[in-house]
Amino acid sequence: MTTAVLLDTSFLISLVDGKRPNHSIAVQYYRLMLEQQSPMFFSAIVAAEFAIKQPIRDLENTKIPLIIFAYCKNGGAAYEDNDLGTKWCVGGNGGLDFAFG
């Protein structure tokens, strides 16, 4: 089973900014996640924090798929991978009952 990874702001900044002290470590982890085909995603809050100091377009070369977060009608958190058309629901009382919008 492949483990999905929720990326945080500091990781993404370190990944794209070669001047950051942890850039090489972030690149190593990124390559490992690609190699293991681990699904990677980040929240809208992380995107907003990232965009405070640099354009969100700086993430385009990372090939991290665009994920749209929403709430599942069952109380869990949902996201949709626009590139693959995959829908996921995490938590709540189970099922894939989405409320995107």
Q: Are residues 38 and 69 in the same domain?
A: no
Q: Are residues 52 and 84 in the same domain?
A: no
Q: Are residues 38 and 27 in the same domain?
A: yes
The domain total for the chain is: 2
Q: Are residues 76 and 44 in the same domain?
A: no
pTM of the model: 0.64
pLDDT at 94 over 60: no
pLDDT at 12 over 70: yes
Q: Are residues 83 and 58 in the same domain?
A: no
- Long-range contacts of the stretch 78-86 (C-beta < 8 A, 24+): 79/41, 81/39, 81/41
Give residue-wise pLDDT tens across range 28-85. Answer: 999 999 899 888 888 777 877 888 888 877 877 777 765 655 555 555 555 555 555 5
Amino acid at 37: Q
Q: Are residues 71 and 97 in the same domain?
A: yes
Q: Are residues 10 and 57 in the same domain?
A: yes
Q: Are residues 19 and 55 in the same domain?
A: yes
Distance (Å, whole) CA 78 – CA 21: 34
Q: Are residues 45 and 90 in the same domain?
A: no
Distance (Å, whole) CA 15 – CA 61: 11
Binned at pLDDT 50, 70 and 90, residue 101 comes out as: very low
What domain range is 39 assigned to? 1-62
